Amino acid sequence: DTKGSMTIAGTVSPAGRNFEEPVTQATLGVVGAFLRLSKARSDARRYPAIDPLISWSKYIDDVSLDLQKKVGGWAEKNRKAAKILREGDEIGKRMEVVGEEGITVEDLIVYLKSELYEFSYLQQNAFDKQDAYCPLDRQIILFELIQKIFSAEFVFDGHDEARNFFLSLQGDIKNMNFMPFNSDGYKKAFKSIENRIKNATMQTA
């Protein structure tokens, strides 16, 4: 006998994006996970346009039981990642009103951490052979690297230095994602990224 799994997906497109209408509510009542597309994200060309702050899954506790064996404190780390996303979204909305110079460097760092997490981890390039399919072992190692960035106390003289550092670091991680897992190039890039994080911080967890 062979074992496998099957995923049943359903789609709803509520008129006027009204999620309170009966068909949408009935669908939400029976599904185990929900991926909500965002027009704002699509307009901003942030693909896939799935909003991680509104989407949800009923299977997190079940998945946690297995991932806890592979990643110590996975549940807490997952909550930290979600918290960074929420805080980054709130800071981003403030920046739309007061501009980048209207927030502290500390708040900008939180925002940039959330952006790096989204672009370097939550997004994958379907046109790249390596990044299109990411094995669990590779996901775990990248998730742990992102956690180091979350926990790091970065030291920057101003907004420009913080932004330039994170955009460069984000690019390095994206390029690493295109490399074959555990290849010499991958290992070299990973070590270089770790050193960059260490050099830019007073303390890492």
The alpha-helical segments, DSSP class H, found in 71-104 are 74-98
Helices (H), the chain: 22-30, 39-43, 60-70, 74-98, 105-117, 136-151, 159-177, 184-199
pLDDT exceeds 70 at position 54: yes
Mean pLDDT of 91-120: 97
CA distance 186 to 205: 23
Dihedral sign of CA atoms 110, 118, 193, 145 in order: positive
| 14 prior amide bond cis, ω within 30 | no
Whole-model pTM over 0.95: no
| Beta-sheet pairing, 201-203 with 153-154 | antiparallel
Average model confidence (pLDDT) across the chain: 92
101 sits in which H/E element: none
Cβ distance 163 to 110 under 8 Å? no
How many H helices and E strands in the chain? 8, 4
Please report the pLDDT score of residue 120 as a whole number: 95
pLDDT band at 202 (very low <50, low <70, confident <90, very high): low
Q: For residues 161 and 196, give the distance between their C-alpha atoms in angstroms, rounded to a whole number.
A: 14
- The tens digit of pLDDT for each residue in 117-152 reads 999 999 989 899 999 989 999 999 999 999 999 999
* Alpha carbons within 13 A on the beta-carbon side of 106: 1
- For the CA atoms of 127, 129, 130, 135, what is the dihedral angle to 10 degrees? 100
Residue positions counted in the chain: 205
The DSSP element (H or E) to which 129 belongs, if any, is: none
- Which 3 state secondary structure label does DSSP give 156? coil
- Domains of the chain and CATH, by start: 1-59 (no CATH), 71-203 (1.10.1140.10)
Higher confidence at residue 130 or residue 14? 130
